[in-house]
Chain A
Amino acid sequence: MTGDKKIEIKLPDLTASSEKAIVTFWHAKENSAVTKEQDLVEVVTDKASFCITAPCDGKILSIFKKVGDEVDFGEKIAEITV
């Protein structure tokens, strides 16, 4: 059963210098179930793509950034209920 606890998915600090990333691909949709370490979303900086995975089993409650959106390091991308 899911829904008791919310976990925020944030873009990690990919580099020490201040930078943004762009969302390029969502592997999951809102309201879909996810399992721990499942691919969630990919972002790109200049020469790197970075795949963020699910930290735990749960369900995607909200997606805050769509493909093409800029994201700051530390910014919330999605929310999972567990």
Chain B
Amino acid sequence: MEICDKGTIEYENALNFQKEMLQRRVRGEISDMLILAEHYPVVTFGRVKDEENILSKASLEDDNISIFFSNRGGKITYHAPGQLLLYPIIDLRKKKRDVRYYIDFLEKMAVKSLKCLGVPAKRKENERGVWVSGKKIAFTGISLKNWVTFHGIAVNINNDITPFSYINPCGEKNIEVTSLKEVLGEELSMTIVKKIFVKSFLENMEIEYNTK
């Protein structure tokens, strides 16, 4: 498994990089890969262009938050520096071919990582994402082509969560959002956070997909 940290990068550039790696993975030219990134402030839509879920376009403009229409699953969300994005490029063709199982895997990995960092994160039975005391801290939205994955999971670490109030995150009304910084009352080093997430990711790949 190759780990590729793109640092802080425009959403569109990260997406183009994912698509390039996806094509190479589909052709068998590279092994599975985990891309890490942070994005400059942007609101993204999935294939469902639910523009009614923008609550304050003026606030987005005032804060210089751009809008991008993506091809991932899931609905509207927000990205900014301090939020950790994990974009696995995983070939499921010779693994368990199950979309729901894969999203479960991502959420379990995020719960495990956040618990390592002292955050009492949980999954909900009938709702996607990862939650802390009823507030959403991590958001999934994935895509697959020929059973190779791209897009992935976003986790609020040190980012300001105010702009989530400008939208209905994931198309859900009255949803509360939190971050690791808000829960712990302090910022954590993104370097340490990334190391914990990568470790959990690799461990859970072994457990859930027998990759050892």
Contacts and interface: CB of A to CB of B under 8 A. Distances in A.
Contacts of A25: 47, 71
Given A48-B103, A49-B71, A50-B99, A39 B144 contact: no
B128 interface: yes
Contacts, number: 68
Interface stretch (B4-12, B53-61, B135-143): B135-143
Nearest to B75: A47
A42 interface: yes
Contact of B100 (A15, A24, A37, A51): A15
A1 interface: no
Interface string A3-46: 00000000011111101000011000000000001010010111
A46 B102 CA distance: 13
A13 B96 CA distance: 12
Contact of B143 (A17, A37, A48): A48
B103 A47 contact: yes
B93 to A, nearest CB: 11
Interface magnitude class on chain A: 20 to 34
Interface in B35-50: 46-48
Interface in A40-78: 42, 44-51, 53
B143 A45 contact: no
Given A39-B145, A42-B47, A48 B73 contact: yes
B209 interface: no
Nearest to B146: A53
A60 to B, nearest CB: 18
Contacts of B143: 48-51
Given A45-B73, A47-B142, A49-B73, A24 B48 contact: yes
Q: Which 3 A-B pairs have the closest CB atoms?
A: A48-B73, A15-B100, A51-B145
Given A44-B73, A47-B74, A50-B99, 8 more contacts: A15-B101, A42-B71, A44-B46, A45-B100, A48-B99, A48-B141, A50-B143, A50-B144
Interface of A: 12-17, 19, 24-25, 37, 39, 42, 44-51, 53
